[in-house]
C-alpha cells in the first residue's frame, strides 16, 4: 500500500514538538509522561479518555469506524494547533499518522469507500495547515509484545479484539513508517524494554531521544 501520497502536503518548516507514535499498547502515553517529568516538555494527550465512541468501536467496528476516525481527526487537529503555540510540546500520537487506522479499516471493508474518501479529503485539508514535528519517535513492538501489554492494561473493550486485528495494525504501522519522510524520525524497538518501571531501560530510551535531538540542533 502507498501512504506516501498523503505525507508530502505539510507547510515548510518545523514545529517545536516531539510526536510519539506506535501501535496500541506500546507505551506512547507512558513515554510522553516521562518526557514531561524528566525533560520538561508540555503534554498533549491522545483523546481516549472521555471518548464517547472508542468502546463502541471495538464492539462494532463497521458501525463506528468512520465516526470514531472523524472524532480523532478533529481532536488531533485541535491538539496540534494548540501544541504549535508552545515550546517543547510532546504529543501522544498525532494527526501525522492518523490515516493509518482509516486506511486499514477501509481495506478491511469496515469503512466504505465514500467514507474513506471523505476522511482523506478532510485529512488533506487539515494537514496543509500543519508543519512537520522536529522529531517523530516511533516505538516498534511485535504483535506478541503489544498483545501482552494490552492484556496487562486490562481495558475491557480491547480484550475482545481478535489477534488478526492487532497483526494487521502492526503491519500497517510498519509500512507507514517505512515510507514516512516528513520529518526526522527515531525508531526504537521496545520489545523486552520496560521504560515505565525499569530505570535502566528508561534512561536508555531517554538517551536515544536526547542524542537525536542534539543531532538535530
Structure confidence by residue, pLDDT tens digits, 74-106: 999 999 999 999 999 999 988 988 889 999 999
**Higher-confidence residue: 10 or 63?**
63
Q: Which of 6-10, 19-23, 29-33, 157-161 has the lowest mean pLDDT?
A: 6-10
Helix, strand or coil for residue 162? Answer: coil
Structure confidence by residue, pLDDT tens digits, 168-204: 999 999 999 998 988 999 999 999 999 999 999 999 9
**158 belongs to an annotated ligand binding site:** yes
**69 belongs to an annotated ligand binding site:** yes
pLDDT at 171: 95
Read off the pLDDT band of 213 (50, 70, 90): very high
pLDDT at 88: 95
Domains and CATH numbers, the chain: 14-216 (3.40.50.300)
Helix, strand or coil for residue 62? Answer: helix
Structure confidence by residue, pLDDT tens digits, 39-59: 999 999 876 667 788 889 888
Query: Between the CA of residue 19 and those of 134, 156, 169, what are the distances in Å?
Result: 8, 27, 19
Q: What is the CA 187 to chain-centroid distance, rounded? A: 13
The question of whether 92 is a catalytic residue gets the answer: yes
Angle CA 98–101–107, to nearest 5: 135
Q: At which residue does the C-alpha cell 500497517 appear? A: 172
* The pLDDT of residue 16 is above 80: yes
DSSP state of 6: G
**93 belongs to an annotated ligand binding site:** yes
pTM of the predicted protein model: 0.92
- Among candidates 24, 20, 25, 10, which has minimal Cα distance to 43? 20
pLDDT at 48: 62
Catalytic: which of 16, 45, 50, 92? Answer: 92
**2 belongs to an annotated ligand binding site:** no
Helix, strand or coil for residue 161? Answer: coil
Amino acid at each position: 500500500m502507498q501512504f506516501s501520497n498523503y505525507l508530502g502536503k505539510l507547510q515548510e518548516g518545523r514545529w517545536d514538538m516531539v510526536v510519539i507514535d506506535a501501535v496500541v499498547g506500546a507505551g506512547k502515553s507512558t513515554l510522553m509522561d516521562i518526557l514531561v517529568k524528566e525533560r520538561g516538555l508540555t503534554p498533549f494527550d491522545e483523546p481516549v479518555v472521555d471518548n464517547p465512541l472508542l468502546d463502541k468501536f471495538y464492539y462494532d467496528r463497521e458501525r463506528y469506524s468512520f465516526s470514531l476516525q472523524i472524532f480523532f481527526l478533529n481532536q488531533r487537529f485541535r491538539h496540534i494547533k494548540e501544541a504549535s503555540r508552545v515550546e517543547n510540546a510532546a504529543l501522544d500520537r498525532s494527526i501525522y499518522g492518523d490515516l493509518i487506522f482509516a486506511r486499514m479499516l477501509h481495506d478491511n471493508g469496515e469503512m466504505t469507500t465514500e467514507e474513506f474518501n471523505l476522511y482523506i479529503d478532510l485529512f488533506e485539508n487539515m494537514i496543509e495547515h500543519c508543519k512537520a514535528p522536529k522529531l517523530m519517535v516511533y516505538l516498534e513492538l511485535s504483535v506478541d509484545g503489544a498483545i501482552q501489554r494490552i492484556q496487562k492494561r486490562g481495558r475491557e473493550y480491547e480484550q475482545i479484539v481478535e489477534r488478526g486485528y492487532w497483526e494487521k495494525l502492526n503491519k500497517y504501522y510498519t509500512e507507514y513508517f517505512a515510507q514516512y519522510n516528513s520529518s526526522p524520525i527515531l525508531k526504537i524497538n521496545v520489545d523486552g524494554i520496560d521504560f515505565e518501571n525499569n530505570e535502566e531501560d528508561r534512561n536508555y530510551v531517554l538517551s536515544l531521544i536526547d542524542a537525536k535531538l542534539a543531532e538535530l540542533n
